[in-house]
Structures are given as structure tokens and as C-alpha cells.
């Protein structure tokens, strides 16, 4: 079994969290591992819809992110992933507090990965859940592209020998 390189993981989390969209949402990826991702969002006024509740797009972005990165270590280092389907069930409304989002890999195939995400508040109440399919790609949306976009040079290897 392959072992995640902790240096790569730390560098990847820093790269993800520095991206403009995640900064806009104040979304912070905390953990990426084999088949798992955990992130947090502290709800702020910018996350609210005109009715004072959390905008559903925040749930969607958080679930998409957690599911995507839960699949990350299941694909070879030179392959990319693109979310091709995302289904969200909004279960409960929230107006403040912290979202804790956990993504888990369901199945990694040769062409498609299937993942799920659960969005909870800091007390563990389920607020939303989602499922996602990601298409494995060769030469498209790879880590190399993310590095180039962010102006980074290179990351440590994805896996330890």
C-alpha cells in the first residue's frame, strides 16, 4: 500500500488554502489523507443569503472540495481529477458558527472516483450531505497545473517510497 508523503500533504494543503476561491469563502482544508479530507469554514456574513441563512452554494462548494480531495491520493501523481457530478442534500439551515466538512472516498476506479461529504456544525449536527463523481484526467487539472497557476516551483513527491 502506498504511503502519503506528509511533506507533500502539508505543501498541498498550503497551496489549496492560498487559492483565491477558497480564500473568498474562508474555506480551510485541515487534513488530506488516503480516502479522507476534512475542512472547516467559520460562517461569516458574506456566506449568508438574502434571508439570513447560509447560502446553499457554500454547502455545495464545501462538499465538492471535501469529496474531491478525499479522492486525491487514490490517483497517480501525474493524473488530475475533474468533478463531473455533484449532488447535495441540504438538511438543516444554519446562520452562524463553524462548518466541519468530512469527505470520504467511496470507490476509486480507473476512470471515475466516487466520494461523499458530510457537513456538520461544531456540535456534530448534520446540516448537509453530498456525493460526487470525479473524472480522472491525463494532462488536465493536474497538480502541475495548480503549481503553475499559483507560481510555485514544485512539491515533494506525493507518496513515500
What CATH number should be reported for the domain holding residue 141?
A: 3.10.129.10
Provide the residue range defining the domain that includes 87: 3-156
Cell of 75: 490517483
DSSP state of 96: S
Nearest in space to 113 (alpha carbons), one of 104, 105, 121: 105
Measure the CA angle with vertex 61, ends 56 and 66; round to 5°.
Answer: 125
| pLDDT-derived band at 51, boundaries 50, 70, 90 | very high
DSSP state of 140: S
Distances (CA, A) of 49 to 36, 44, 52, 71, 93: 29, 11, 6, 30, 11
Mean pLDDT across the chain, nearest whole number? 94
Q: Is residue 69 part of a domain?
A: yes
Contact criterion met (CB below 8 Å) for 101 and 65: yes
Instruction: Give the model confidence (pLDDT) of 80-120 as tens digits.
Output: 999 999 999 999 999 999 999 999 999 999 999 999 999 99
Instruction: Give the model confidence (pLDDT) of 59-71 as tens digits.
Output: 999 999 999 999 9
Q: Is residue 74 part of a domain?
A: yes
Instruction: Give the model confidence (pLDDT) of 7-44 as tens digits.
Output: 999 999 999 999 999 999 999 999 999 999 999 999 99
pTM of the model: 0.93
Q: Is residue 151 part of a domain?
A: yes
Nearest in space to 125 (alpha carbons), one of 154, 98, 86, 161: 98
Q: Is residue 128 part of a domain?
A: yes
Nearest in space to 83 (alpha carbons), one of 62, 99, 55, 52: 62
Rounded to whole angstroms, how far apart are CA atoms 25 and 44? 9
Instruction: Give the model confidence (pLDDT) of 135-146 as tens digits.
Output: 999 888 888 888
Q: Is residue 96 part of a domain?
A: yes
Q: Is residue 141 part of a domain?
A: yes
Number of domains, the chain: 1
Q: Is residue 161 part of a domain?
A: no
Q: Is residue 47 part of a domain?
A: yes
Orientation of helix 143-150 relative to helix 6-17, angle to 10°? 50
Amino acid at each position: 500500500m502506498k504511503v502519503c508523503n506528509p511533506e507533500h500533504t502539508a505543501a498541498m494543503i498550503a497551496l489549496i488554502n492560498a487559492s483565491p476561491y477558497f480564500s473568498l469563502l474562508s474555506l480551510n482544508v485541515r487534513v488530506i489523507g488516503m480516502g479522507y479530507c476534512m475542512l472547516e469554514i467559520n460562517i461569516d456574513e458574506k456566506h449568508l443569503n438574502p434571508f439570513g441563512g447560509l447560502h446553499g452554494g457554500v454547502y455545495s462548494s464545501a462538499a465538492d472540495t471535501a469529496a474531491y480531495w478525499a479522492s486525491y491520493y487514490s490517483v497517480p501523481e501525474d493524473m488530475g481529477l475533474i468533478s463531473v457530478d455533484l449532488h447535495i442534500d441540504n438538511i438543516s439551515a444554519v446562520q452562524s458558527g463553524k462548518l466541519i466538512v468530512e469527505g470520504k472516498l467511496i470507490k476509486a476506479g480507473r476512470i471515475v472516483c466516487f466520494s461523499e461529504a458530510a457537513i456538520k456544525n461544531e456540535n456534530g449536527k448534520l446540516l448537509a450531505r453530498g456525493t460526487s463523481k470525479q473524472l480522472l484526467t491525463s494532462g488536465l487539472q493536474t497538480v502541475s497545473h495548480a503549481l503553475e497557476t499559483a507560481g510555485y516551483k514544485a512539491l515533494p513527491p506525493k507518496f513515500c517510497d
